[in-house]
Structures are given as structure tokens and as C-alpha cells.
């Protein structure tokens, strides 16, 4: 069975988001909702949801054109649209009677063998199918998406006693490959995996912070980076998802959990939280929450609530000795520290990690599913059992005993062992019988982390490594901080070309960091500029140009496989590749103007060549130059791999992988396909319009400046970029080689890097992470 068409019933935030993400996979989707009372347009709810998503940020659609794949309607007039759907998703209000009444209508029109699923997270599957025909129950599963569906990778899949195996396997495979989901199979238990543990974690962390007298800043600092949890911690996360959800979540858990479950002891909503909700302080969607922005007196001041008094005051940075200790000694140093931060970490982790350990195999068959659910659903860097390994299982048992918490049987079986280990290059986990099993990857998944466990690098330095990924393909991995491009990466890039030439077929540029590369290492550049070593800076610019050209003209194919941000110098590496296999969530752009510079490693050259050779562009020499100027001068960043094709950061035939875990395998396959009878590209020459184009761009810059949308230094940078892109003093009759274009880039870059205003911008970016408007 193949999923060719999908329907979603329920056009609320979640249902509409699911429909949008199905369209991101190129699959037609029907979106239905009820007929609103006294409405002239009976499809108003579903149609309104699509229109709202087209304007929303972050965008549910990876490209606005995907909205054309969504057919809207209502459940009174348009249920016949379900007849040819392969998968029907119910995402309506969490009331059993309403859901079952809808299922009866769906069953009357759906085709045999189509899969029906619910997005519920509160109603057991057995109750949903109670009284339904066997044929319906056999095709019914729960598919629990996390919000927003485009960006949150976790999908929890639950089956029932009457579910046929193929119903779950077909949907799981589709969601893995086409929707990019990390599919976790879980038991039919309250909250499944992620919310069962995640809600307990938030509740315990809030209660313990109040009891220990911590500020919200201190609690979030402890519950954030030291544990590998996003910096929002628990209070910031509560503001993000909505504080008013807490009573509903607690009510659901109180209603469905066994009476002896430890969760119930912590399910009371604090009086402060109840008061905040009553007064409209429900988080970011309300007047504020545990944090708020005070906009009085014409200023924006971030404030935090006092957990004792309920009063707000300006937020400050958490200062705890335990946090300082964790930076040097990691998680164990935090947990063992005697101050209130260490005490807070001990009490929260003992309860939460102990609770997680007690739930296997109740909620999942193994610890891998639990860890994956928390990493994909709550963005934890480490799952509960990985955190226990960081503390040491025996140490954690001792911590539980000190806190008076019963030691789960799974922890007793792990005595003297770790939950994970590497054995003969294979990652293994401890099963519920206390035996080690290999962690199995789905077919078509190739992870660089797995390769690194089983082999040594072909070459390596402080910022990069070269790995043999099999079948004659080599992977160049960046390992610097934020994968920023630096001289070590450039050096290994040139070495990679030599190594691959001597006995391999192809090269892939890929890493498993949060971002492919945030661009050049500004710290190194600023240091060199501050001490005036201009020759060294120019050498680094030339080294980058030479390294990237070596990739472009190598006698073997080079495939870029980015994910996350690919900015500045990172973007430029991809512009020099033969092909791209990008993760769908790739955000790419040439953003150098934000720090007062222009692309200096061939980015301008490559963009000019792409736009000039683009058969769809208007004729004449000017449109291509103007388009490059618009893209680079505004630091345009494509917000998806699909959008990147519009700006020609990616080519029309470049590939997109929806699942990040499949990216390296897809890129490797693309590289091997290109390697057959591969011939490197021929250098090309282009003609540029010269001063005429520069004059046109100056008029545009002057207009932006007069409108108050550009600063004095913006004008300086933009005009230097205009001179570069127009070809300087050339005219349309002169052909410019790549060497000519690279020389123009070097000259423009060096002129700007000497400008004191540019140095101020660079310094400000390093200090704040934000551009300076000077």
C-alpha cells in the first residue's frame, strides 16, 4: 500500500499544521472541519486555517505553493472527498462521543484498507474503537504529532489488539520517509512516552523551584544547558506552550493514570499558577507568564515573576556556583554541588529519571524508544537513560536512596553497567532482561556517528575530520564551534581533494551538528583586523577561494548535504558543489552584509554565474546582476530547502531529504550516481554591465536610505557590493574569467574589513549574536 492522498478532519492549529506538513511532502491533502453557525461560507473554518498558515511565522508550509495541494471543505457536505484517501487523520476535540460519531461517518465513505488514525494524546485507543466494526478497528491506529508538526520530529504511533500490523507499518514508513518523522512505537498508556515523562518533568521542576526558593532564571539555567535541554528550561517552555494548558494536562493525567502512580502526588496546580491564569498571564500568547516584556515608558524590558510574591522585576542572569562547576565538571559536578542549584538538580533528576526508569516496559518495549521520544519531542540532547549514564547507574541508585525514592527494577539490573555501550564498533543498549542488544537503524539510515564508532578518520585536525563512509565515498565533517569555517577546515578541504583523488569515487560535505555551518570564524577575523595583520586576512581570503575552487574542479563529484543553518562561508561551500542533497529544514543565505562585509570566498561569483545562466530570467545583462544584488544586499535567507531553489542557492534538480537521519545515505547515493563517467565542469566566462548597473543599484540604495531603512554604513557596504557585482570598470563587451571575479571579491572584502564601522559590527555580532545598525 502506498500513501498517495491524505485527509485531515479538524482544522485547528494541530490539524491544519498536519495538513500543511503533508503538503510539504508533495502529497494532496483534504482538510475538513464543521460548518460554522450562521456562516455564509460553509467551508470558512478550513479555508481560514489555510489562509492563516500562509501568513504564520514560523511557517507551517515549506513553500507557499504547497497550499495548492490542500483541498478544503466541511464534514457535512464533503465527506465524499475521503473516498479515495489512503490515510484519514482525525484531529477533533478530545471528547470520546464526538470522535466515535465521526468515525461512524468516516467508515461509511472510506475505501477498504484505508488507514484511520487519531491525533489524541488523552483517550486510550481501546476506548476509541470500542463498539466499532472489526474492519474499522483493524485499520485504526493513533498517530500523535507534536506541535508544530513541520518542526517537531517526534511521531508516537500506538496500535491496538485488533490493529492489523500493515496499517501501522505503512503509516510509520510514510511518516519516516515523506514527513521526516522520528517514529517511536509506544504502548497504549496515558500520555504515551514523551508527555508522560515531559509533563511530569515540568511539574516537578516548577514545584521544586518554588519549594527551594529559586528564581525562574536560576531554575531555567540549571534545567537547561547543563542537562542538554534547550535554554528555555521549564519556566520558559511553559510560557511557550501556554501556562493555561497545565490544568488540562493535570486533569487528563489524574483521570487516566493508575491511582498508585507517582505522577499523581505532583499533580496539584500551585496557587500562583492558578492566579496567573485567571489574570491572563498565560505565557507568550497572553500578557506574559513566568517571563514578560514590559513595554512601559517606551522601552522593552524583560521581567521575571517572583515565585513567592508574584511580583515582576527585571530579569537577571543566574549566578550559582553549581553552574560554574558544571561548566568544568559536567552534569556530575552540578548534581554533587551543595548549593541550591545542585540541590535543585538532585531533587528534580532523582524524581524524573527515576520515574522514567520505572515506566519501562509499561510505556515502551525498550529504553531506546524512551530516549528517542524525549529527544525528538522535547528537544533534549540526551534522553533519560543517557542522562543516567552520565551520572553513572550506581551513583544514581545511591541518589534515589538518599532521596527516599524506590529504586526501579530496571536500575537494579543495570547495577555496575551502563545503559548504553559501544561493543566492537556497534552501539548497544541494555534491555529489560539486563542483556545488551544492538541499536538497530531503519533501512536506508546512515549516521556519521555510527561510522565514527567503528573506524578511525582518514585525516583530522582541530576543526574537521575526513571519514570513509563506504563504497568509495568520503565524508568531510566540520567539528569547529558552530561549524564555523576557519583555516583548519580549509586546509583539510584541500587535503580531502588529494586523498579522494588517490583511491575514492566521491566526496560528501556533511556533519550532524545542529547547523551545517554558521559561516566564517568572525573571532579569528576580528582578532587579525584589530592587530592590523591585513596580509594574513588576505591570505585567508585567498585560501578560502582556492579551497572552494578545488572542490568545484575536483576530478570527482562533490555533494553537499546540509541541514540547519548554512550561512555565509558555509553557504559558499555548497555553491561550489556539483550537487546538493539537503535536509528539508535547511536555512541558507549569504549574510555577510550583516557584519559589514561581502561574500569573499566565491559566493558572489557563483551567484552571478547561476543567475546569468538561468534560462528563466529576463533577457539582457541587468536582471541577473540586480537579482544577485537584491539577494545578497538584503542578506536573504531561504527558510527551507524548497525556498532555497527560488533564490538559486540550490539548483532545480538538487535533492531534498525530509528525514535528517536519511540525509547522509541519500547524499552518498547521489554522489555514487554522479561518479559514473564524471567530468568536472568547465570554467566559464561572463560579461557584466559595469558602471551602468552600478548606477541603477545606487538609485535603489538611495531610495532605501531616504526611506530611513538603511544606515550610513549600509550604504557603504551596498555600494561596494554593487561595484563588485557590476564588474567594476568593465563593460558588456568584456568577458570576465573566474579569476577576475574572485579578484573583485577579494578587493571588496579587504576594503570593507579595514573600515572601522565594519569592525564595530563584527564585534557586536560576536557579543550579542545580533547585527549592529550603525
Whether residue 542 sits in one domain with residue 612: no
- Last-in-domain residue among 397, 430, 463: 430
Whether residue 421 sits in one domain with residue 286: yes
Asked whether residue 441 is domain-assigned, the answer is no
Exposed, middle or buried: residue 498 (CB in 10 Å: 0-12, 13-18, 19+)? exposed
| pLDDT confidence of residue 341 | 98
Closest to 565 (Cα-Cα) out of 576, 556, 557, 574: 574
Contact 594, 771 (CB under 8 A): yes
**E strands present in 38-181:** 70-74, 87-90, 115-118, 140-145, 154-158
| pLDDT confidence of residue 623 | 93
Whether residue 469 sits in one domain with residue 601: no
What is the distance between the alpha carbons of residues 119 and 156, in angstroms, rounded to a whole number? 9
CA angle 112, 116, 120 (to 5 degrees): 170
| pLDDT confidence of residue 466 | 98
Whether residue 496 sits in one domain with residue 549: yes
Ranges under pLDDT 50 in the chain: none
- Last-in-domain residue among 380, 395, 430: 430
| pLDDT confidence of residue 621 | 79
Whether residue 273 sits in one domain with residue 154: no
| pLDDT confidence of residue 297 | 79
| pLDDT confidence of residue 407 | 96
Considering the entire predicted model, what is its pTM? 0.96
| pLDDT confidence of residue 39 | 80
Whether residue 601 sits in one domain with residue 561: no
| pLDDT confidence of residue 771 | 86
Domain housing 714: 595-636+682-774
| pLDDT confidence of residue 200 | 97
**E strands present in 226-372:** 291-294, 301-305, 312-314
| pLDDT confidence of residue 446 | 98
The domain total for the chain is: 4
Asked whether residue 28 is domain-assigned, the answer is yes
| pLDDT confidence of residue 7 | 98
What is the distance between the alpha carbons of residues 718 and 694, in angstroms, rounded to a whole number? 10
| pLDDT confidence of residue 470 | 98
Contact 582, 654 (CB under 8 A): yes
The CATH number given to whatever domain includes residue 373 is: 1.10.1040.50
Whether residue 173 sits in one domain with residue 90: yes
Contact 245, 269 (CB under 8 A): no
| pLDDT confidence of residue 774 | 76
Closest to 448 (Cα-Cα) out of 658, 660, 649: 660
pLDDT in tens, 465-501: 999 999 999 999 999 999 999 999 999 999 999 999 9
Whether residue 508 sits in one domain with residue 385: no
The CATH number given to whatever domain includes residue 68 is: 3.40.50.720
Amino acid at each position: 500500500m502506498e500513501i498517495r492522498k491524505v485527509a485531515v478532519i479538524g482544522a485547528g492549529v494541530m490539524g491544519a499544521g498536519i495538513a500543511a506538513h503533508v503538503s510539504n511532502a508533495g502529497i494532496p491533502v483534504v482538510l475538513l472541519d464543521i460548518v460554522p453557525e450562521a456562516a455564509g461560507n460553509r467551508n470558512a473554518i478550513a479555508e481560514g486555517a489555510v489562509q492563516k498558515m500562509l501568513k504564520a511565522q514560523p511557517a507551517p508550509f515549506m513553500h507557499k505553493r504547497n497550499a495548492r495541494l490542500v483541498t478544503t471543505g466541511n464534514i457535512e457536505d464533503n465527506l465524499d472527498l475521503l473516498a479515495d484517501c489512503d490515510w484519514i487523520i482525525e484531529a477533533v476535540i478530545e471528547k470520546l462521543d464526538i470522535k466515535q460519531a465521526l468515525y461512524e461517518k468516516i467508515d461509511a465513505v472510506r475505501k477498504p484498507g484505508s488507514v484511520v488514525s487519531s491525533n489524541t494524546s488523552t483517550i486510550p485507543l481501546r476506548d476509541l474503537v470500542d463498539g466499532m466494526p472489526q474492519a474499522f478497528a483493524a485499520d485504526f491506529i493513533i498517530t500523535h504529532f507534536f506541535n508544530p508538526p513541520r518542526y517537531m520530529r517526534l511521531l508516537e504511533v500506538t496500535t491496538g489488539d485488533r490493529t492489523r500490523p500493515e496499517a501501522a507499518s505503512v503509516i510509520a514508513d510514510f511518516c519516516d520517509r515523506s514527513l521526516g518523522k522520528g517514529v517511536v512505537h509506544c504502548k497504549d498508556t496515558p500520555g504515551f512516552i514523551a508527555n508522560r515523562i515531559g509533563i511530569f518533568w515540568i511539574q516537578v521542576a516548577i514545584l521544586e523551584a518554588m519549594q527551594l526558593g529559586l528564581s525562574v532564571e536560576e531554575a531555567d539555567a540549571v534545567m537547561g544547558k547543563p542537562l542538554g535541554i534547550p535554554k528555555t528550561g521549564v519556566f520558559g517552555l511553559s510560557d511557550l506552550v501556554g501556562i493555561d494548558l497545565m490544568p488540562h494536562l493535570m486533569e487528563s493525567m489524574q483521570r487516566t493514570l493508575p491511582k498508585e502512580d507517582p505522577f499523581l502526588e505532583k499533580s496539584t496546580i500551585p496557587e500562583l499558577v492558578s492566579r496567573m491564569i485567571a489574570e491572563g498571564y498565560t505565557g507568550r500568547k497572553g500578557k506574559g507568564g513566568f517571563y514578560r516584556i514590559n513595554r512601559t515608558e517606551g522601552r522593552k524590558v524583560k521581567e521575571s515573576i517572583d515565585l513567592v510574591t508574584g511580583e515582576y522585576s527585571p530579569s537577571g542572569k543566574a549566578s550559582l556556583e553549581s553552574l560554574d562547576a558544571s561548566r568544568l565538571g559536567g552534569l556530575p559536578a552540578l548534581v554533587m554541588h551543595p548549593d541550591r542549584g545542585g540541590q535543585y538538580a538532585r531533587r528534580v533528576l532523582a524524581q524524573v529519571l527515576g520515574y522514567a526508569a520505572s515506566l519501562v516496559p509499561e510505556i515502551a518495549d525498550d529504553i531506546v524508544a524512551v530516549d528517542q521520544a524525549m529527544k525528538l519531542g522535547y528537544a533534549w540532547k540526551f534522553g533519560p537513560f543517557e542522562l543516567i549514564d552520565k551520572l553513572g547507574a550506581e551513583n544514581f541508585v545511591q541518589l534515589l536512596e538518599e532521596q527516599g525514592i524506590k529504586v526501579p527494577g530496571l536500575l537494579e539490573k543495570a547495577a555496575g553497567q551502563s545503559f548504553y555501550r559501544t561493543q566492537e564498533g556497534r552501539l548497544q543498549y541494555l534491555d529489560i532482561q539486563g542483556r545488551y542488544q544492538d541499536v538497530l537503524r531503519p533501512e536506508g539510515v546512515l549516521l556519521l556517528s555510527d561510522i565514527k564508532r567503528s573506524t578511525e578518520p582518514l585525516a583530522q585536525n582541530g576543526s574537521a575530520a575526513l571519514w570513509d563512509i563506504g563504497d568509495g565515498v568520503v565524508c568531510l565533517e566540520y567539528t569547529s564551534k558552530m561549524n564555523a569555517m576557519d583555516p583548519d577546515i580549509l586546509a583539510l578541504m584541500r587535503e580531502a581533494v588529494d586523498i579522494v583523488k588517490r583511491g575514492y569515487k566521491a566526496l560528501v560535505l556533511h556533519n550532524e551538528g545542529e547547523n551545517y555551518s554558521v559561516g566564517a570564524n568572525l573571532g579569528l577575523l576580528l582578532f587579525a583586523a584589530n592587530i592590523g595583520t591585513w596580509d594574513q586576512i588576505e591570505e585567508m581570503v585567498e585560501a578560502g577561494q582556492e579551497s572552494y575552487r578545488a572542490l568545484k574542479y575536483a576530478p570527482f563529484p562533490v555533494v553537499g548535504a546540509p541541514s540547519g543553518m548554512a550561512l555565509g562561508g558555509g553557504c559558499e561551500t555548497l555553491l561550489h558543489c556539483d550537487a546538493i542533497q539537503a535536509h528539508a529544514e535547511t536555512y541558507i543565505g549569504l549574510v555577510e552584509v550583516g557584519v559589514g562585509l561581502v561574500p569573499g570566498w566565491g559566493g558572489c561569483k557563483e551567484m552571478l554565474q547561476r543567475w546569468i545562466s538561468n534560462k528563466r530570467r529576463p533577457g539582457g545583462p541587468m536582471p541577473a546582476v540586480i537579482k544577485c544584488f537584491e539577494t545578497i544586499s538584503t542578506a536573504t535567507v531561504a527558510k527551507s530547502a524548497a525556498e532555497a531553489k527560488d533564490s538559486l542557492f540550490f539548483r532545480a534538480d538538487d535533492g531534498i531529504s525530509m528525514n535528517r537521519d536519511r540525509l547522509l545515505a541519500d547524499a552518498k547515493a547521489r554522489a555514487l550516481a554522479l561518479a559514473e563517467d564524471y567530468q568536472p565542469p568547465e570554467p566559464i566566462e561572463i560579461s557584466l554591465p559595469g558602471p551602468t548597473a552600478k548606477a541603477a543599484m545606487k538609485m535603489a540604495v538611495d531610495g532605501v536610505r531616504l526611506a530611513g531603512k538603511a544606515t550610513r554604513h549600509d550604504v557603504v557596504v551596498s555600494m561596494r557590493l554593487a561595484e563588485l557585482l557590476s564588474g567594476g570598470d568593465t563593460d558588456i563587451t568584456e568577458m570576465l574569467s573566474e579569476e577576475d571575479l574572485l579578484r573583485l571579491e577579494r578587493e571588496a572584502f579587504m576594503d570593507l574589513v579595514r573600515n572601522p564601522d565594519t569592525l564595530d559590527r563584527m564585534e557586536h555580532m560576536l557579543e550579542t549574536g545580533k547585527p549592529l545598525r550603525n
